[in-house]
Amino acid sequence: MSRIGNNPIAIPSGVEIKVDGNMVAVKGPKGELNQSVDLVSVKVEDGQVILSRSGETKEEKSMHGLYRSLISNCIEGVSKGFKTEQELVGVGYRATVTGQLLELNLGFSHTIFMQIPAEVKVSTEAVKGKPPVVTFESIDKQLLGQVAAKLRSLRPPEPYKGKGIKYKGEQLRRKAGKTAAK
């Protein structure tokens, strides 16, 4: 039994949902998203989206919960949107934005340029005494996570000093350095 898949999704005001075969189109104040579904059927009743599966195979059960979560993310994205913030921790680490091009100085001998997809809004903030913060906003949660993971992969945080790109509020597991021999 899929516990997640059996939960109905409440539709907030201002959000329209159209089901056409195996395609679910979600339209809201922030934009429009489409999600294809497979092995489950989608119905819109009484201001709720209800997903049901036809059989009891392992694949159908797993897809039931997956598509429920994906459609829920689409509804939340077009109504509220998603946002993620990352800190650039390290001496001389900087980030600037020009249009959809993110320019990064991450302690390498060269500057890194990262092209951001048009669906994602990017902004940077540098406050003296604090590490620079890069903020991504989008209605598509999957794309947002992918872009954030790509940025983090350029310089993952290291466990000794904590230098690198980390998510805001993330707790890093720190290691003790070498001890001096006597």
Averaged pLDDT, 71-94:
94
Those residues whose C-beta lies under 8 Å from the C-beta of residue 107, and which sit 6 or more positions away, are: 90, 91, 92, 93, 155, 163
Residue-level pLDDT at 62: 86
Inform me whether the pLDDT recorded for 86 exceeds 70.
yes
- Alpha-carbon distance of 109 to 101, in angstroms, equals 19
pLDDT-based confidence at residue 79 (cuts at 50, 70, 90):
very high
Q: Tell me what the mean pLDDT of segment 106-120 comes to.
A: 94
Q: What percent of the chain has pLDDT over 70?
A: 98
- Check whether domain 3-79 has CATH 3.90.930.12, yes or no: yes
The domain segmentation of the chain, as residue ranges, is 3-79, 82-167
- pLDDT given at position 34: 95
For residues 38-48, give the mean pLDDT: 91
Q: Classify the C-alpha dihedral 27-32-34-35 as positive or negative.
A: negative
**Bridge partners (DSSP) listed for residue 105:** 94
- Asked if domains 3-79 and 82-167 share a fold, the reply is yes
Closest CA to 100 of 80, 77, 71, 123: 123
* 109 pLDDT higher than 80: yes
pLDDT in the model for residue 55: 87
Show Cβ contacts of residue 148 under 8 Å, excluding neighbours closer than 6 positions: 84, 86, 136, 167
pTM over the 0.85 mark = yes
**CATH superfamily for domain 82-167:** Ribosomal protein L6 (3.90.930.12)
* Contact assessment for residue 50 and residue 43, using Cβ atoms and an 8 Å cutoff: yes
Strands 133-138 and 9-10: unpaired
